[in-house]
Amino acid sequence: MNSAKLLRLNPDKINIEINLPASKSISNRALILNALSYSPYDIENLSDSDDTRVMVRVFDSNDTKFDIGAAGTAMRFLTAFLAKTVGEWQITGSERMKNRPIRILVDALNQLGARIEYLEKEGYPPLKVLGSALTGGEISLNGSVSSQYISALMMIAPYMQNGLKITLEGKIISKPYIIMTQKMMAEFGVSADFTGNIIDIKPQTYSPTRFRVESDWSAASYWYEILSLAGKGKIHLKGLKKESYQGDCKVAELFEQLGVKTEFDKDGVIISANNKPETPCFEYDFTNEPDLAQTFAVSCCLKEIPFTFSGLQSLKIKETNRIAALINELGKLGYVLYEPAEGQLAWNGERCVATENPVIATYDDHRMAMAFAPAALFQPLTIEHPEVITKSYPGFWKDLSKLEMK
């Protein structure tokens, strides 16, 4: 089905309250830790994202074969979880998932005593997992690998016979996600030492705990973008915490450069125009916040602010190659982006002829849909496959309808 959504947003309507979705990243970790602690408690305020729903379905199931669709986090976390869970398991996904590499995680698990086989293409799902006790030990991983591989290994490490020591080689990307995992493990009673480039986890036992998931800062980023582009109004974003597990809370500080003020209250944050001069050129290393890059690329272009982003190595192995996707789709709006070097994206102010009545492709990527939606403040815009947002923010279009031209 070739679905599409035509958007026209009214900047004069920006005085709204938004109940943000719960953090997908925290929800998915909480489900694994809850299961590992054999907890009698349900996780409170779970995300209703596709990834989280898939994991809930797996944990509620008596099956041994699981289809996780396009849920990349679920594929990685569950592969590790099943590797230490006695039984014979199979895990598969969508066609796109069958082309997303998983060899690094599988090799690491097999090195630590797991028995995982590829059922089709070498290095990719679907997988056959023969779950059993893991010996553990020491492994080395490139620091630039997906932090989800590292987190998946960390969470099961306390139950490895010899514990686990991971040496991360080179520059560590997405470090806040590793720290998120470390802090959440501590909430469930397990100590993980992360000093320098070494993660060291001794054999331990998790303790059941009551846990409530905070709202999602990456979901907040699209409302920051809207406020920044409109240059006026006020939005109350509910459920966000100042002392957050999420690295993406950096969005509040970064959008100060693009004209947005953040004030915390007991329910979350209130954002409004800060009426300060905006940065003439935006330069930032997104190594620790890669999921914010699309939001800032669209924001900077539409505000005519040249930019150079670095630390984007992981964007090529997300739901799509996000660097290529941004170059293609911002080209339709008349902006010529380029890739100065590996892991970088830039715009120097060069323009091209914009497409009339642009149709934005989303590449099965929820963040492409949501990052481009605010562009409809300037012109009518069609978003292809708007349903992709269910991956992280199922209520996004309903929330955005508060700003639509009637």
- CA 276 remoteness from chain centre: 30
Q: Token digits for 154?
A: 């960390």
The CA distance from 347 to 354, in Å, is: 15
Tell me the C-alpha to C-alpha distance, in Å, between residue 253 and each of 120, 179, 250, 373. 45, 19, 5, 22
Catalytic residue among 51, 291, 365, 399: 291
Specify which residues 390 forms β-bridges with: none
Angle at 31 (CA atoms; ends 25, 33), nearest 5 degrees: 100
Convert 112-138 to b/e letters by CB count within 10 Å (16 or more is b).
bbbebeeeeeeebbbbebebeebebee
Active site residue 200: no
Tell me the C-alpha to C-alpha distance, in Å, between residue 236 and each of 216, 249, 269. 14, 15, 6
Q: Token digits for 320?
A: 């799509």
The contacts of residue 333 (CB under 8 Å, 6+ apart) are 301, 302, 354, 355, 358, 375
Rg (CA), the chain: 21
Contact 124, 79 (CB under 8 A): no
Contact 121, 160 (CB under 8 A): no
Residues with a known catalytic role: 291
